[in-house]
Structure 1
Amino acid sequence: MIEIAQLEKDYLVQGRQVSALRNINLHIAQGEVFGIIGRSGAGKSTLLRALNLLERPTRGKVVFEGEDITQFDASQLQSLRQRIGMVFQHFNLLSAKTVAQNIEFPLKLTGKYTTEERTKRVAELIDLVGLQEHANKYPAQLSGGQKQRVGIARALANYPHLLLCDEATSALDPETTQQILRLLLDINQKLGLTIVLITHEMQVIRSICDRVAVIDSGEIVETGNVVEVFLHPRHTVTQSLVAENQALDLSLLQELAQRGNVAEHSYLLRLTYVGNATHEPILSRITAQTSAEITILQGVIARIKNTPYGQLIVEVLGSEIEIDKVLKLLGQANIRVDVLNHLVQSSINSTTDQTQEN
């Protein structure tokens, strides 16, 4: 669907060259929801706009449906942009036109459709985004969520093959955000439409994306399946983004460190469950088969798109033989185990150093 190869974008700012994107290499498959996440100023908007040449790269290729669009002339770009819809953060609706007229506008611009064809298409899209009772209202009469539904319908007007979403939910409240995300997911599934979205919120990525790329200072620092990236982030930027949404609470480490030591036969474990194992009583079975004591200190059970998952922080007390037995049984149950004792010890050392300095 999309191949991005060695993409770079430079700007000239006050006579000085500033790099906004550096050596971007990505593959986005047909029909997937692909997320790009990063802090403000990381380069995600520039990258998204390079996909329809609203931002022309300084170097590199953007191959869309087998064609390097960086080589397109003005006429080819006009045709390309009819195949790529775009949803904006602040809606960008025409205030003097009704909902129906806003949706019809891109159809009129092409000059391809009769009045009857446009009317039929607008009715289809109004039904798709759930605005049947609002067709003749003006943007000022709509809520934020309704305005974004109009923006989505308008972006779909010309039967695009690709939908770009530029922070499409960041101006909305949490409940409306979830409604819009469910609508995008429904559109993806019903139409088989490829969606690329940018956001600074990991919750948005977790809700609807299949794969994700993490961008920082103009570079892709991590990419992969959302389940893997969310549950086992490798790069410090990703770890920070995930920590804001769900991760090991640092206060827990501090609390354990304040106890002064970690018991000789105590293990602090992070257990990660994915899929059907999430809802099975695995810890109950293990405690029944061993004499080890297992205490749940922190945990969450939720979903990443359609995949259930759980992450628990547990403390296991017992003899070395019993702890080894627990670890073996966890492995047999396909539970990923991360030993966190070294993190607690690090917190202890840090606390000790600060005490000595004082």
Structure 2
Amino acid sequence: MIRIEQVQKFYQVGRGGVGAQVQALRDINLQIEQGKIFGIIGRSGAGKSTLLRTLNLLERPSSGKILIDGADITQFDAEQLHGLRQRIGMVFQHFNLLSAKTIAENIDFPLKLAGSYSKEQRRQRVDELLDLVGLADQRDKYPAQLSGGQKQRVGIARALANYPTLLLCDEATSALDPETTQSILRLLSDINQKLGLTIVLITHEMQVIRTICDQVAVIDAGEIVETGDVADVFLHPKHTVTQSMVAENLALDLDVLQIRKERENGLLIRLTYVGAAAHEPILSRIAAQTQVQMVILQGTISRIKNTPYGQLLVELIGSSDEINTVLVSLRAADVRADVLGLSGSKY
């Protein structure tokens, strides 16, 4: 269990420690459950990398507490901090592999630094990790001979070398193409399930959060503006920053939506189906029972981690009573119906 309490981070701007202060983190409060995959999403400069690096004190907070398994790590001495960092693995955006060492030697490197394993124990651990990340046949190659996805697999194996209980991923897929990104996300998900490892990752890509995370925090200008289960945050965003990121991810045609909002005889609604309802013909069934015209403007059916969902933007055209009947029927079928227009509508 990780608890972040009232964490703030200031940087001094100017030479010699003299000058204005810039605040990178503002009163951060988060709870991350053991064994979960927790995502932190934000735009460039939002503070997500700074926040992630406070979890192993690569960035020390200016104030506040960071509790891991009940212990405030900001109070650790040098020896305690060394032990903490051996229990926390970290995966980097640009891999950070040692170019002069083989793949096996890169994975072995943190084991050698730990100084608590025999040569045979280290060899066995390297073999286990190469099998885990699917690179057993690449052990004697050098980083320059690998693809980007293979390099990141090495980075993941190296981060797992010392049997960590927490894995931090710093934009681990942003340097990869979409297909490779999906393979790395599947690997991280498998590791989470097989090892029960807590994973905290940062990203600017909503698709990454949707694919792998259980919970998410949205950060903007150093503040957490929204947090919760991924399905709730993704499907029903409350903060304007989250709404903007979700809209970009879904590529909403805002011009078309605005035109539709201006129609006097239509009501614009967003329908959200979660779970089994995403595959049921609910809309067509209700349409057959009413005189209301239903115009589907945009829609998608996909998954948020292991949960299927559907989301449609629909215009309902008809009398107030008929439209009200449709809304009641939709909600009775466990379909969330959010009214987006008309302004002043009684719906």
CA deviation map 1:155-203 (0-9, x unaligned) = 0000000000000001111111111011001100111100000001111
Matched length: 341
Q: What secondary structure, in the 3-state scheme, does the structure 2 residue paired with 1:309 have?
A: strand
1:143 is the counterpart of 2:147:
yes
TM-score, normalised by the number of residues in structure 2: 0.96
1:277 is the counterpart of 2:281:
no
194, 201, 212: which one aligns with 1:197? 201
Partners of 1:249 and 1:76 in 2: CA distance = 53
Partner of 2:185: 181
Question: Residue 108 of structure 2 aligns to which amino acid in structure 1?
Answer: E
Partners of 1:344 and 1:254 in 2: CA distance = 15
1:17 is the counterpart of 2:21:
yes
Task: Note the residue ranges of structure 2 that are not aligned, 5 or more in a row.
Answer: none
RMSD: 1.4
Question: Residue 114 of structure 1 aligns to which amino acid in structure 2?
Answer: S
Partner of 1:320: 320
38, 41, 62: which one aligns with 1:37? 41
Partners of 1:295 and 1:240 in 2: CA distance = 24
Task: Tell me the CA shift for residue 296 of structure 1.
Answer: 1.2
Contact 1:248 1:313 in 2 (8 A): no
Task: Tell me the CA shift for residue 285 of structure 1.
Answer: 1.1
Q: What secondary structure, in the 3-state scheme, does the structure 2 residue paired with 1:30 have?
A: coil
Contact 1:5 1:60 in 2 (8 A): yes
Partner of 2:239: 235
Partners of 2:53 and 2:26 in 1: CA distance = 15
Contact 1:296 1:314 in 2 (8 A): yes
Task: Tell me the CA shift for residue 247 of structure 1.
Answer: 5.8
Partner of 1:123: 127
Partners of 2:246 and 2:313 in 1: CA distance = 16
Q: What secondary structure, in the 3-state scheme, does the structure 2 residue paired with 1:97 have?
A: coil
Contact 1:85 1:163 in 2 (8 A): yes
Task: Tell me the CA shift for residue 343 of structure 1.
Answer: 6.7
Contact 1:256 1:344 in 2 (8 A): no
After superposition, where does 1:1-358 map in structure 2 within 5 Å? 1-14=1-14, 15-246=19-250, 248-256=252-260, 261-264=262-265, 266-342=266-342
Partners of 1:107 and 1:13 in 2: CA distance = 38
Structure 1 residues 107 and 343, CA gap change in structure 2 (3 angstroms): farther
CA deviation map 1:238-267 (0-9, x unaligned) = 11111110164202224436xxx5133x22
Contact 2:268 2:342 in 1 (8 A): no
Partners of 2:319 and 2:70 in 1: CA distance = 61
